[in-house]
Amino acid sequence: MAVMTTPTLAITPADALIDEPRRIAITGLQPGETVAVSTHTVRGRDIAWASQADFIAAEDGSVDLERDAPARGSYNGVAPMGLLWAQRPVASDSRELFHADATRPLVTEVTVAAAGGEARGELVQRLAAPGVVREEIRVDGLVGTLYRPPGAGPHPAVMVLNGSGGGINEPRAALYASHGYAALALGYFKAPGLSDYISNTPLEYFERGLQWMHRELRPAHGFVALSGQSRGGELVLLLGATFPDLVSAVVGYVPGAVVHSAQNAADPAIGREGAAWLHHGKPLPHVWENNPDASWAPFDEGPAPHRHERAILTALKNAGAVARARIRVEQIRGPVMLLSGTDDGSWPSSLYSRMVADKLAEAGHPYPVEHLDFEHAGHAILFPYVPTTQAVYAHPVSRRISTTGGTPEANAGADEGSWRGVRAFLARAVAARKQAAGD
């Protein structure tokens, strides 16, 4: 008769930055026995997220998530971090992955249930590395949060811009700072003291932010990059083209190639076909403007889950409107990185990224241009090892229900691949800037 032993759970490393992969392994099992592994994480506004999977122990009585696929559970196939990206909120439709305080780590309880008993462990994910300093910025009308890396510096800098949900993207800024960048997460609506809507946002606001970064941060080699997602991805391309002397590199997550109207983040009094961006007090031409082909019907009346991308594609049928609204990306004076998903439900980021890359190639852009296009991924490309399951959601401004697209597996792959690519891209851009500056 086999002697029952108590299982042992090892999580390596147990405590690290959120983008560091972990090895989850279990020993002390009976060969061939089924073992249940579950996770529990409190995220956002104290909402529990959970996942579960059953594994079959190997002949040596072990389970290793780097080697073994679950027999059943929250994800399929070999995925060392599957128990994290496959998490879903418990009795909630929450999409808030992080605490309001980005310096507060995420703690995941991992529980192993086997015939010989239970084993428990904690997996701690940090956005802010030891020594990263957080500072609220309320100056020159700017509303944001600055994360400084450890050490005196100077450091290269990144401005981080959110999408149509608004707010201040502190998680991404904290992670940039953890990798050596002075990162200003700048709010431009739905942030303290600012409008609740994207409508009629002046580009001069971001110009002041860039000037403040150059003046106050005195970044290494004068390097200030822009990093934005969705509407923020549209915005960083627009800012790079409008203020090229202030921008050293552009990272566009699921960006737009054209200027859009205010869309789902619009002030209801103005409407979703009103302008999002102003420059010198005048609205920028957008793709919905004077566009007889543009229609919201494929989004509003299409089958559930509604895909905003279907409406955007109607607007792109009109070549004249696209030409008028096209972002003049050839005016950017620095390297450009584009990240997209082929199943983007919010807008056609793959197509938009190709449009940008093609225009830069046609113009003979003298800086590197990189495009990572992730097969079957959707609009919500973030960074590694966070849940990717909540694609259907109510927009935080319009409350319209839609899907960002993609499968959890593909979205998890895009999270991992995009962040690896962005880190390498920025490192090369900083090195090139240093060499050009003769530092």
Asked if 164 is an active-site residue, the reply is no
Alpha-carbon Rg for the chain, nearest whole angstrom, is 23
Catalytic residue among 155, 349, 379, 402: 379
DSSP letter for each residue of 144-211: EEEEEPSSS----EEEEE--TT-S--HHHHHHHHHTT-EEEEEE-SSSTTS-SS-TTEEHHHHHHHHH
3-class DSSP assignment, residue 308: helix
Distance from C-alpha of 27 to C-alpha of 150, rounded to nearest angstrom: 38
> How many angstroms separate the first and last alpha carbons of the chain?
71
Integer Cα distance of 87 and 67 in angstroms: 20
| DSSP symbol at 323 | H
Q: Which of 191, 186, 154 is nearest to 170 (CA)?
A: 186
Mention every residue, 6+ apart, whose C-beta is less than 8 A from residue 11. Answer: 22, 23, 24, 110, 121, 122, 123
- Tokens 């962005």: give the residue: 422
> What is the residue-wise DSSP string for 108-152?
EEEEEEETTEEEEEEEEEESS-TT-EEEEEEETTEEEEEEEPSSS
Candidates 19, 68, 343, 344; catalytic one: 344
- Residue 74 bears catalytic tag: no
If 0-12 CB within 10 Å is exposed, 13-18 middle and 19+ buried, where does residue 12 land?
A: exposed
| Greatest distance between any 2 Cα atoms in the chain | 83
Q: Which stretch of DSSP H or E encloses residue 278? A: strand 277-279
Q: Which residue has the tokens 């128990």?
A: 83
From 227, 230, 340, 353, the catalytic residue: 230
Best CA proximity match to 55, nearest among 76, 40, 41: 76
* Total count of residues recorded for the chain: 439
Whether 379 is a known active-site residue: answer yes
Angstrom distances, CA of residue 250 to CA of 47, 90, 402: 34, 37, 28
Please give the positions annotated as active site: 230, 344, 379
